[in-house]
Amino acid sequence: MADFRPYTEEGFIISPLSSYAAPYKPLATICIEFTPGYDRTYVNEKIVESKVNDDMYLSANGKKQQWRCPTQDEMLKKLVDYAKSIGANGLLDYRFEAVRPVKSNFNQVLYYRLTAFAISI
């Protein structure tokens, strides 16, 4: 569940609807994908302190990492930040989708996709 309130309070509109009742200027269709995995910028201190030495959690620079899956709020923030960078103050037709493999483990998420239509009101 995504929380739109922080953006609404600052005057940024996010709507799953594809239309808006007031005049607006269309800017772009935005699609951002996020893939869960070992994040090079995220280091888990508990793993770093661990004496276990293995290749699974050890990065090229010697820092141990942890599996990282971004939250829906983190992904929404990236989408809104990008929309703002191109001059948008609203997103229409907002969609959040978890893409899963078709023929194997359905519990696995290959990646997350966020799409929206950026507008200036």
Cβ contact 88:42 at 8 Å? no
Query: Which domain covers residue 113, as residue numbers?
Result: 5-36+70-120
53, part of any domain: no
What's the predicted TM-score (pTM) here? 0.74
CATH number of the structural domain spanning residue 110: 3.30.110.70
88, part of any domain: yes
State pLDDT tens for residues 31-60.
999 988 876 665 656 655 555 555 555 555
**Interatomic CA distance for residues 32 and 39, integer angstroms:** 17
State pLDDT tens for residues 9-29.
999 999 998 888 889 999 999
